[in-house]
Structure 1
Amino acid sequence: MYVINLRYTGALAEIDDALDAHRVFLERQFAAGIFIAAGPKVPRDGGIILASAIDRDRLDAILAEDPFAQQNLAHYDVIEFKATRLAPGLNLPMPSEA
């Protein structure tokens, strides 16, 4: 599992201009079962994405497709961890064997 910390490097006006494309990117990854949570930080200087069921190299390739990355609007810090406990009723996708 990964925590991806986005830190905006562009002006908020540039972020806002790319936001619709970024949201389409996020939706594709949610539909694929890769991203499991995402949202802006408070204050709005970046965002957080939680990802699961993926190896690091593939995650890095996916993040490179983000319009924020392609337009040099954000820096990504990726932190990997093993989720050893989950809240009752919370089910996470399992990594694929492929």
Structure 2
Amino acid sequence: MFILSLTYVKSNDEADKHMETHMAWVGEGYSRGWFLASGRKVPRTGGVIFARGERAELEAYVAADPFTVHGIAEYEITEIAVTKVVEGLEVFKG
């Protein structure tokens, strides 16, 4: 399992200009079965995606995010070995 943590390096106004294409990219990540949960950070300084899959594939996919392509955000990818979850979230224990 991976945590994809993105941090804006440009303003929210700049992020908003690319939000529609970024959200289409997020939707495709769900369609591929890679993304499990996602959302904005509070306060709005970026976002977080919980993902599964192969690291190399996820790294390549992150490189294609419109936020990456347009220099809106930078990603930190952290791999974690989930050992315990509440009932109903077993999908997180890849």
- Shorter-chain-normalised TM-score: which range? over 0.9
Q: Distance in 2 between matches of 1:94 and 1:32?
A: 18
Unaligned 5+ segments in structure 1 are none
Q: Is the 8 A contact 1:33 1:93 kept in 2?
A: no
CA displacement, residues 7-56 of structure 1 (integer Å, 9 cap, x when unaligned): 0011111100100000000000101110101110000011001001x111
Report how many aligned residue pairs link the two structures: 94
SS in 2 for 1:92: helix
Aligned position for 2:71: 72
Aligned position for 2:60: 61
**Matched residues, percent identical?**
33
Matched, 1:24 2:11: no
Q: Which amino acid aligns with 1:28?
A: E
How well do the aligned residues superpose, as a CA RMSD in angstroms? 1.4
Aligned position for 1:10: 10
Unaligned 5+ segments in structure 2 are none
Go from structure 1 to structure 2 and tell me whether the alpha carbon gap of 1:74 and 1:34 turns closer, same or farther (over 3 Å shift). Answer: same
Q: CA deviation at 1:94?
A: 7.7
TM norm structure 1: 0.90
Q: Distance in 2 between matches of 1:29 and 1:94?
A: 18
Q: Distance in 2 between matches of 1:16 and 1:73?
A: 10
SS in 1 for 2:16: helix
Go from structure 1 to structure 2 and tell me whether the alpha carbon gap of 1:23 and 1:29 turns closer, same or farther (over 3 Å shift). Answer: same
